[in-house]
Structure 1
Amino acid sequence: MSIPPDSLDPQRAWAYRPAQALAGAPGGPLLGLTFSVKDLFGVSGWPLTASTRAPVPGPGESVLVRRLLGLGASAVGKTHLHEIALGITGMNGYGSTTHPHDPDRVPGGSSSGAAVSVALNQVDFALGTDTGGSIRVPAAWCGVYGYKPTKGHPDWSTEGVLPLSWTCDHTGPLARDLQTIARIQTALTGRQIEPQDWNGVRVGLWLPEGWTDDGVREATLAFAADLERRGATVTPVHLPEMLDAYSPIVLSEAATIHAEALKLDNPGFQPFTLDALRRGTALGVDEVQAAFDRRADYAWLLNGLFTAFDVLLAPAVPTPPPLIGQDEVEVGEGVLPLRRAVLRLTAPFSLLGAPTVSLPTSTPYVGVQLVGRHGEDDRLLGLGLAWEDGA
């Protein structure tokens, strides 16, 4: 059954809730935990819409959902997303999802319903996807935690998940605390996540001048100062805006994935989604290859930073959550399109596949990102645990 936008789900977070949850296997390490599933994951017996009225390809059954059920967690239903995951506000063809605590504001996307289900304590954790910030942005704007693993992490499978961009897609969890995320990571990998001492950790602070409003800048600097108090060294670093590589890659791949629907006279996408997909279709082979060439250059820059730093610290969002329908935000350098202002902070780390966690700050609905080296997910989560524990 679909969940109507009524008093039972005023935020319109739920796409599907069966009468009974899919029970986890007895005795597993995640026994007792409940989770929601972003409606891109294939779940046997459950519908998949990707929060669009357009036809979408069937991805098959999600390997990750099946593993989590086998580890004891119970799946209670599917959550809405920004249509086909191509956006960062939560807009879709089913009324769109609103912020968990302010109905006039967006929750972030594309894993909007995932973040809301966690923020409202409806589940213990949520499965989301992240192609350019789709776990980290809603985590920040809803005041919860999110984790985007290293691209291709063997325990965070994208098999059985409707893709947006096979180059940039990741799966990952959102939760109200990092302990829960670490528990899931431990269950999936078989490796215990231990708190990591911040003493001596080299932190690169990526806080480009003018890219955020004053409140976000102050929250990020306060977070950096807290890490220094724990013994870390914090040094400013520089990375360029990478949307000139990210956008052509994602739009061209999304257009390929949804090519059959785009052949229809009226495929059923919302106008903003249809326009983006058609722009992806119009991209030439040379334009896309040039974007991949730029991506390789950016990967070289990021890898170079990680020879001098252990982790990077950056804002997860440029401002607190904007109003529904707001297309622009004001940051230090002026008024910018919302998409650009948000994605230029988060897209580099999905474009380049680096593991990243989004952590809330003392400023409501503002988060920061901690970014680690490829494959150092466990250490990154361990540093996050130590921060959360106050160690």
Structure 2
Amino acid sequence: MTVPEFSDLQRAWAYRPASPLTGAATGPLSGLTFSVKDLFGMPGWPLAASTRARVPDPGESVLVRRLLKLGASAMGKTHLHEVALGITGNNGFSGTEHPTLPGRVPGGSSSGAAVTVALGQVDFALGTDTGGSIRVPAAWCGVVGYKPTKDHPAWSTEGVLPLSPTCDHAGPLARDVATVVRVQEALTGGKVDAENGAGIKVGLWLPEGWVDAEVREATRTFARGLESRGATVEAVPFPEVLDAYSPIVLSEAARVHAEALADEDPGFLPFTLASLRQGQALGQAEVDAAFARRAAYRAQLDELLTRFDVLLAPAVPTPPPLIGQDEVEIGEGNVPLRRAVLRLTAPFSLLGAPTVALPSTTPFVGVQLVGRHGEDDRLLGLALALEGEA
């Protein structure tokens, strides 16, 4: 097998070998191709994490090795938001652009992953999600993204350069839920059955003022689709969790990149460097307090998911913003882009709940379905039944 010829105008690819790593000929994923976010360690392939700074070697990815044994073929590595610390796709190699909207961001940090899937260059892509890094680019690029339950045995993060071990997840992006389900079934050896939604209880998390009018209507339209299948939908509250999320992620990221930060010129972009320095400056008492808040938020989410089968929420606050745009206009006014995005997605990576991002009726605006911890297959079954419904 040779790597197919195509242009890379979006700067999605970090490394494309002359020949792919060909998967087993008779595995359940035989014939499928995938791209690999450049955080996964692969012998013989470089790992730069889309930064000019030096990064630690995580060793070989257990997940990539398993996918190859199951028959999928790895076509190359994709760019990401620098060291995965961001949600736009900006990095030390000129950044990645939206697959079909020139001048707009694809989302991050799994930016190249989403682009390669959206353009049909691979069947699925491996990404990581620490605060929304699979779901945000999936939503903004119009594809499907799945963040499994934290520490799901099928989705190992061993051999993946971490950002925050507390919040990191590995997962796939694909053009349809059926492909995600095929990969899930191959990895678990189980069966995902479509669940049409009749009789399920859905908690609608759509905080007032947090999204623009397009996203609000797209999310409500999705909710009406669930109701038409026999689901009951009820609005639910949930707090902003960034007061727990940010100290945990920044302090852990600073430890991961401590060696580079000790260099006179580490090589990170200014925003990344400032964020890592902020993490270095956090005291242990501040980090401990953040973990205490996380425990309280986890209890709130668990209680909510005893009353509801799934939660429905927007995956992004607006359609894809312009490259370099720092603020977005939403219901409550101008809000910093990073905060506007992360407060929608970070709860479910901070708290480890399985989440699927699905396209909606509005182009490049996605929604999230959040399931109970460990009920990944049931969540994917619902997503499978809803394919194309929004």
Check whether TM > 0.5: yes
Distance 1:369 1:389 in 2: 14
Match of 1:78 in 2: 77
For residues 203 and 9 of structure 1, what CA distance do their matches in structure 2 show?
41
The separation in 1 between residues aligned to 2:196 and 2:325, in whole angstroms, is 41
Aligned partner letter, 1:310: D
* TM-score, scaled to structure 2: 0.98
* Alignment partner, residue 207 of structure 1: 206
Alignment correspondent of 2:60: 61
CA RMSD of aligned residues (A): 1.1
SS at 2:368 equivalent: strand
- State the alpha-carbon separation in 2 of the partners of residues 59 and 297 from structure 1: 32
Helix, strand or coil at the partner of 1:304: helix
Percent of pairs with identical residues: 75
Determine helix, strand or coil for the equivalent of 2:233. strand
Residue equivalent to 1:3: none
- 2:176 corresponds in structure 1 to 177
| Aligned residue in 2 for 1:251 | 250
Say which SS state the counterpart of residue 387 (structure 2) adopts.
Answer: helix
| TM superposition shift of 1:103 | 1.5
Q: Distance in 1 between matches of 2:233 and 2:137?
A: 26
SS in 2 for 1:266: coil
Task: Determine if contact 2:10/2:96 at 8 Å carries over to the other structure.
Answer: yes
User: How far apart, CA to CA, are the structure 2 residues paired with 1:190 and 1:267?
Assistant: 44
Q: Which amino acid aligns with 2:119?
A: L
Deviations along 1:57-91, one digit per CA (max 9) or x if unpaired, are 00000000000000000000000000000000000
Q: Does residue 318 in structure 1 map to residue 317 in structure 2?
A: yes
Which residue of the partner structure matches residue 119 of structure 1?
118
Q: How many residues align?
A: 386
- Following superposition of structure 1 onto structure 2, how do residues 1-391 of structure 1 map, counting pairs within 5 Å? 8-388=7-387
Deviations, residues 139-190 of structure 1 (Å, cap 9, x unaligned) = 0000000000000000000000000000000000000000000000000000
- 1:332 Cα deviation (Å)? 0.1
- Structure 2 unaligned blocks of 5 or more: 1-5
Tell me the SS of whatever aligns to 1:77: strand
Unaligned runs of 5+ in 1: 1-6
2: CA distance, partners of 1:377 / 1:162:
24
The verdict on how the C-alpha distance between 1:389 and 1:318 changes in structure 2, with shifts beyond 3 A counting, is closer
Distance in 2, matches of 1:90 and 1:165, equals: 18
Amino acid in the other structure paired with 2:269: Q
Cα distance in 1 for partners of 2:297, 2:145 equals 24
Measured in 2, the distance between the counterparts of 1:74 and 1:316 equals: 30
Q: CA deviation at 1:390?
A: 5.5
Structure 2 SS opposite 1:129? strand
Partner Cα separation in structure 2 for residue 193 and residue 301 of structure 1: 28
Note the C-alpha offset of 1:197.
2.7
Moved over 3 A (4+): none
Q: How far 1:385 moved relative to its partner?
A: 0.5
